[in-house]
Amino acid sequence: MRLALGTVQFGLDYGVANAAGMVSPAEASAILADARAQGIDTLDTAAAYGESESVLGALNLDGWQVVSKLPPEAQGDLSVADWVTGSVNRSLARLRQPTLYGVLLHRPSQLLGVDGDAIYRALQRLKSEGVISKIGVSVYAPEELDRLCQNFDFDLVQAPFSVFDRRLVTSGWMTRLAASGIELHVRSAFLQGLLLMKAEERPLKFLRWAKLWQDWHGWLAESDISATEACIRYVLSHQEVGKVVVGVQSRSQLAEIVAVVSGGGLDVPSHLSSQAEELLNPACWPSLV
């Protein structure tokens, strides 16, 4: 199964389309059980995802591949090595796991700063000790990889990719990562739910892209396909994608996503995409008016 379960909703009230709030521990347990039954074997979490790691640690994670991320804040008075090791150990303790499948830099720019080499060496040491299997970065845009991959060797990269956000393809980085043997996990397949919302439900600040939304809804209607199916099938049609990280608020949402995975590849017209950073990067959304 090429889906991975994103768990930010297990620890935070997250997502522009999230009206239900943070997932309850009971629902989280049920979602994990359903995901396991469907052959999903990878969880994505982070130290910065509120209580997510602790919620997961209270559940049975035997057999799961867990990817977490270093905290985005600086290490304070600790040495770089101690900060990295301590951060990973705290994640392991919260998750109640002896090892992690992957550890990513939540803020990859840290690697390009004065402490970058020391951070990388500390992660490499943990990898050599068998504490983590893969080292990588979580980026907001593919161009971040231009400098990062010149200076460091990664095993795993997580990046946004969706019908609207095709920068991984147009930049050439999807092909380059595959050629380098770097595992690719993509997120934001639904653009935090914006792609799934009805026109009348979408926040008014996104109306500056009214023509794009109109074309999107028109194409879905003409193609007689749901937004969920179109988003998932388009992303999975790219064989370079190892895992698609999807976050859900309920078992029913997970079931809806799993149901369309087997639909095969999907060609979506190229005009149904954007290069606008203000739309593609959720960090820009609070400043939209």
Give the pLDDT confidence score for residue 289 in this predicted structure.
83
- The alpha carbon of residue 93 and the mean position of all alpha carbons in its chain are separated, in whole angstroms, by 22
Q: Which residue from 57, 11, 55, 63 is spatially nearest to 37, judged by alpha carbons?
A: 63
Give the pLDDT confidence score for residue 75 in this predicted structure.
66
Give the pLDDT confidence score for residue 14 in this predicted structure.
52
Side-chain half-sphere CA neighbours of 261 within 13 A: 17
Q: Which residue from 116, 7, 13, 12 is spatially nearest to 65, judged by alpha carbons?
A: 7
Give the pLDDT confidence score for residue 18 in this predicted structure.
46
Give the pLDDT confidence score for residue 16 in this predicted structure.
52
Q: What is the CATH number of domain 3-287?
A: 3.20.20.100
Sorted by where each begins, the domain ranges of the chain are 3-287
Give the pLDDT confidence score for residue 21 in this predicted structure.
77
Give the pLDDT confidence score for residue 72 in this predicted structure.
85
* pLDDT by position in tens, the chain (length 289): 999 999 999 998 755 554 557 899 999 999 999 999 999 999 999 999 999 999 999 999 999 999 999 998 766 677 999 999 999 999 999 999 999 999 999 899 999 999 999 999 999 999 999 999 999 999 999 999 999 999 999 999 999 999 999 999 999 999 999 999 999 999 999 999 999 999 999 999 999 999 999 999 999 999 999 999 999 999 999 999 999 999 999 999 999 999 999 888 899 999 999 999 999 999 999 999 8
pTM: 0.95
Contact of 196 with 228, CB cutoff 8 Å: yes
